[in-house]
Structure 1
């Protein structure tokens, strides 16, 4: 038998440390209960371990709320004691066999990456030929990223994405995964998690119209090539302006994700309050992804090294948000990109 501890939400939280498997049976339609549950999970649940959330009716809102608190499994309580026992046995089996748990996470990550990758490719191919970019594809792709990072964890997501050779594909999925993890660590509401993930997945859509010999060049770009590459924010923004269906906040990110708080960014030299919070968040994920990604002409930086470089950028980035981003870096683990 495995040790089991029942923790009522109204009771003082124990100092027993994180559990192998956490089971939540809480009224997720009550704000106070969810707030208290988040506090309890921050103490009693280790990220990456199974988190089984029980819901008492088939309800989309309850399901989304369970996902928002990080549930890796959601089970509807319908009077089937056997179903609950069977799933618990399976979950404890995964904990006892780290290899099985790792493989399960990789499988979840691969499924999410395939779904997000297909959505991204569909949008990118449409943009390359001047056809309308589908808002529905963006929603499908961002939801796949959010679900996968929530269930598989950010480290596994990055490990799988790093195996892809296409530079733009790899970069945008890295940024989207980091943005999803960041939004979840910040405790964003579901709609705000989705908005940030969509911004990350869409931010480089303008690169679809950059010549392939520049976009896929295996070496560093020349100054002339870099000037062409730097047109992608304006190109992407103008492309999406010509069609309906996209949140103006997303268009702002497509145009301004290379702006810096000190005014030294491009294309419009925005500074300070002119740069939205959504842009600040996306820019942090964008820069971090570029530092840890694997390129033929440069070795990837370790998670901690990449973060230290961004800290040294000082007033260019929102340092308060960057400090909060440390939680994502911690979840990736030391030396992850160099393995």
Structure 2
């Protein structure tokens, strides 16, 4: 299960959120993660004693509420708060940190951070950051490209020509995200984001040419840091068995399940003389049309059905 320490969270967001470390330095290694056994445990939010957050945020209303409580009631509230599973506390809006809250964080080894940013903005930034950093991930073999603003994963057996195809597409103005090892992160219920391992960024291996630095060869616009996966192009060697098994009308869209997300997949047979770059671009354009509700195959079937009915009607009239 992916996790992150409070120290790492502080380092990554310190400047953007104007974070200051106030107390609880002994809890820097407290870990934040998605708890599948406790789905009601949210990652970040305003103080909630019923469905607690891993990061509890004190905004203007929460600080005002704590300050208005009688001393004994305040201690009872904090006792209940710190009995929960909590990785850190953040006081937002530039509010003064109550001394009682500071003491509890020191006692329970819970990092206490302060921010001048409004609590709604702080929580939005934190949620996006944690969604990406704690996303469930997997690594697939293939080449990932940005083709016509659509994230495309090209897969297939070794020596199928994936890298050569990627090089041709890059030369036609499309962008490289990752070659060989593609890291996929589920950042939303139906969203997979592709990234490249740091070691392989900008590089593409082509048999006969070796390893090419795509950024150096084609320029800055030829590479992308990340892209959402929308379409899989699977290359297979063309033979009689494969060709007979293909659905020429492609009535039912083929999909592949990755991390619980179904992704549209198109199988393209590889044979001498076939322009794969053109075929990939055509597949992407067709996918874009389908997103807009335009299905060429369905239009063809409807036209054929309509013409057959017209012929039958003319025959009955005669």
TM-score range, shorter chain: under 0.3
Q: TM-score, normalised on structure 2?
A: 0.24
Quick check: which one's helix share is greater? 1
Quick check: which one's strand share is greater? 2
